[in-house]
Structure 1
Amino acid sequence: MSAVFDAISSRRSYSAVTKDAPGRAELLTLVRAAARAADHGALRPWRLIELRGDDRVALGTALAASAGLEGTAAAKLAGKPLRASLLLAVVASRQPSEKVPHWEQDATAAGVAHLLSLLLEDAGWGAMWRTGGHTRSEPVRRLHGLAETEELLGWLYVGGIPDNAKPAVRPPIDPAAHLTPLPA
């Protein structure tokens, strides 16, 4: 098969990454390539927000606030964004269009995020797309400066691949169960 087939077939999420992370210049190159995702109408209905350093602490605070937690429970939730040195918030930035509905624009944003995760892995970085019940909460929306036409789809947690990373374990699917003909 091809290198693309091999890359997709071996794709995995890295729930733990090292503190290393790609720099901005490398990210810009990868984002440029990820922008080739299918995009009906070429609306570019997405954007990414780069969170590093104290931005991750602010996100943790917003997550804890959205949950209404205090004490140890708040600290545990607030610590989750510190699992990676770089978080990339994936934002569906819906554009006005009579031809392209919002759901299709959201699919484009998700496509960009998925391509970016593949490109990051190809460049030697580990990534995991994380969401959660507080992803679309008001404190988290405010922190990310989202417009009314935008929705946060989650974050790519990005870092170095640990030396002790185990191979991805995902049972193979029966493709015939997922590729069906149109019902009669």
Structure 2
Amino acid sequence: MQFFSDPVLETMATRRSLSKVGPETPGDEELARLLPAVSAVADHKVLRPWRLITLRGDDRARLGEALDAAAGVVREPGEFNTKPFRAELLIAVVASPKPHPKVPEWEQHATAAGVGHLLELALWRCGWGVMWRTGLHANAPEVRAVHGLADTEHLMGWLYVGSIDERLRARLDRSRRPALDPQQFISRMPA
């Protein structure tokens, strides 16, 4: 059952965050093909104050070690932080502000967040499951170092990306969120 006849609006209305995704992932070429869609984000002065970092394979173990170091967690030999292994592909969304007298840093962070959300929507439209995860230690020195962030950059979180089980896909296609009351979110300026 469709909400909208327009496929873009339908994708936006039906997007869900999936905490569990399967092992298949988009390749780097598919991600590159999606970038023109996400670069259409509102971007004052077209500074493109963002970048994406893909984490696959051993990169996820390195992230787990950095998260543990940031949290002061010491594990037994053979144990590891399983959080980065919830998906085969993580995409770090990084705000990378550029000095500009007319574009404050907060606005550039908003642009980077917009890129992350548009990428999430584009991946969903292409059939991939996505969950945007953050955490208290996302910008801890150890985590920043493992991502190679500059002092001016800010890690906005990671998109966990993977395939969607067919049974889950069928359940998602049948389910709908309750209707939104727009009056709760739209108002006018006070007189």
TM-score, structure 2 length as denominator?
Answer: 0.90
Alignment partners' CA distance in 2, 1:101 and 1:162: 42
Superposition map of 1:45-84 within 5 A: 45-71=49-75, 75=79, 78-84=81-87
Query: Any conservation in 2 of the 1:52–1:87 contact (CA below 8 Å)?
Result: yes
Alignment partners' CA distance in 1, 2:38 and 2:185: 26
Alignment partners' CA distance in 1, 2:65 and 2:93: 19
User: How far has the Cα of 1:169 moved from its partner?
Assistant: 6.5
SS in 1 for 2:52: strand
Aligned counterpart in structure 2 of residue 182 of structure 1, from 168, 184, 189: 189
User: How far has the Cα of 1:172 moved from its partner?
Assistant: 3.6
Cα pair distance change 1:70/1:172, threshold 3 Å = farther
SS in 2 for 1:164: helix
Aligned counterpart in structure 2 of residue 35 of structure 1, from 36, 39, 63: 39
Instruction: Indicate the RMSD between aligned Cα atoms, in angstroms.
Output: 1.6
AA in 1 matched with 2:33: T
SS in 2 for 1:127: strand
Alignment partners' CA distance in 2, 1:162 and 1:114: 22
Alignment partners' CA distance in 1, 2:21 and 2:176: 17
Query: Any conservation in 2 of the 1:45–1:93 contact (CA below 8 Å)?
Result: yes
- Percent identity, please: 52
Alignment partners' CA distance in 2, 1:154 and 1:163: 27
Query: Any conservation in 2 of the 1:37–1:111 contact (CA below 8 Å)?
Result: yes
Query: Any conservation in 1 of the 2:14–2:176 contact (CA below 8 Å)?
Result: no
Moved more, 47-56 or 63-72: 63-72
AA in 1 matched with 2:181: D
Query: Are 1:85 and 2:88 counterparts?
Result: yes
Q: Partner of 1:152 in structure 2?
A: 155
Alignment partners' CA distance in 1, 2:140 and 2:154: 10
Structure 1, unpaired ranges of 5+? none
Query: Any conservation in 2 of the 1:56–1:82 contact (CA below 8 Å)?
Result: yes
Superposition map of 1:76-155 within 5 A: 78-155=81-158
Alignment partners' CA distance in 1, 2:50 and 2:6: 29
User: How far has the Cα of 1:32 moved from its partner?
Assistant: 2.5
Cα pair distance change 1:169/1:152, threshold 3 Å = farther
AA in 1 matched with 2:16: R
TM-score, structure 1 length as denominator?
Answer: 0.94
User: How far has the Cα of 1:163 moved from its partner?
Assistant: 2.1
Structure 2, unpaired ranges of 5+? none
User: How far has the Cα of 1:99 moved from its partner?
Assistant: 0.4
In the alignment of these two chains, the number of paired residues is 182
